[in-house]
Amino acid sequence: MEIGILFQLAAVGLIVTIICQVLNKAGREDIATVVGIVGLVIALGVVVSMAGDLFEAVRRIFELA
């Protein structure tokens, strides 16, 4: 189920790219920039929560303060 996150992230990247291309062709470069940033933030949010899980597991196993 965790491998699915990889596909989701790749799909988010491709969809954001397509939306950016369409918006660029339509002459709305400003909205395209915003869409790109929002997509990146969503992907980073997923990754950061996963990194948090990993750090929590390491802290639990090694009894770090």
Partner 1 sequence: MELFRIIATAVITAIAVIIVREYRPDFAFVITVSGVIILLLFSVDYMQTAIEAIREIAALTGIENSFLKILLKIIGIGYLVEFAASILTDFGSASLADKVTFVGKLVIFSISLPIVKAMLVLVQNLASIVS
What residues line the site for partner 1 (CB under 8 A)? 2-3, 5-7, 9-10, 12-14, 16-17, 36, 39-40, 43-44, 46-47, 50-51, 53-55, 57-59, 61-64
| Dihedral sign for Cα atoms in the order 39, 44, 49, 50 | positive
The long-range contacts involving 15-19, CB below 8 angstroms and separated by at least 24 positions, are 15/39, 16/40
Task: Tell me how far apart the alpha carbons of residues 22 and 29 are, in angstroms, rounded to a whole number.
Answer: 10
Q: How far is the CB of 38 from partner 1 (least distance, A)?
A: 12
Question: Shortest gap between Cβ of 51 and partner 1 (angstroms)?
Answer: 6
Q: How far is the CB of 25 from partner 1 (least distance, A)?
A: 15
